[in-house]
Amino acid sequence: MKIKELKIRTQNLERQILFYSDKIGLELLFRSEYEAVFLVGESKLKLVKSKESLPYHFAINIPSNQENEALKWLKERVEILRDGKNEIQDFEFWNAKAMYFYDLDKNIVEFIARRNLKNESQADFDVASLLEISEIGMPVNDIRVAFNKLNEISNLEQFDGGLERFCAIGDENGLFICINKNKKDWYPTGDKAHSSEFEIEYEHNNREFVVKFINGDLRKVDKID
**What's the pLDDT score for residue 148?**
97
Give pairs for 190-195: CB < 8 Å, separation 24+: 191/55, 191/106, 191/108, 193/57, 193/137, 193/139, 194/54, 194/55, 194/139, 195/138, 195/139, 195/140
**What's the pLDDT score for residue 190?**
97
Asked if 176 and 169 count as a contact pair (C-beta separation under 8 A), the reply is yes
Rounded to whole angstroms, what are the CA distances from 33 to 56, 68, 186?
Answer: 22, 37, 31
The secondary element (H helix, E strand) that includes residue 145 is helix 143-154
**What's the pLDDT score for residue 222?**
82
In whole angstroms, give the CA distance from residue 131 to residue 123: 13
At 109, phi and psi to the nearest 5?
A: -105, 135
- Is the pLDDT at 214 greater than 60, yes or no? yes
**What's the pLDDT score for residue 125?**
98
- Is the pLDDT at 6 greater than 90, yes or no? yes
- Is the pLDDT at 224 greater than 80, yes or no? no
**What's the pLDDT score for residue 72?**
98
**What's the pLDDT score for residue 161?**
96
The pLDDT tens digits for 36-66 are 999 999 999 999 999 999 999 999 999 999 9
- For the chain, give me the number of helices (H) and strands (E)? 3, 16
- Is the pLDDT at 225 greater than 80, yes or no? no
- Is the pLDDT at 196 greater than 90, yes or no? yes
Give every CB contact of residue 177 below 8 A, 6+ residues apart in sequence: 57, 59, 135, 136, 137, 138, 166, 168
Asked if 45 and 133 count as a contact pair (C-beta separation under 8 A), the reply is yes
Asked if 199 and 3 count as a contact pair (C-beta separation under 8 A), the reply is no
The pLDDT tens digits for 80-120 are 999 999 999 999 999 999 999 999 999 999 999 999 999 99
**Maximum CA pair distance of the chain?**
48
Q: Give the count of beta carbons closer than 10 Å to the beta carbon of residue 187.
A: 18
Kindly tell me the sign of the dihedral angle through the C-alpha atoms of 181, 184, 185, 186. Answer: negative
The pLDDT tens digits for 118-159 are 999 999 999 999 999 999 999 999 999 999 999 999 999 999
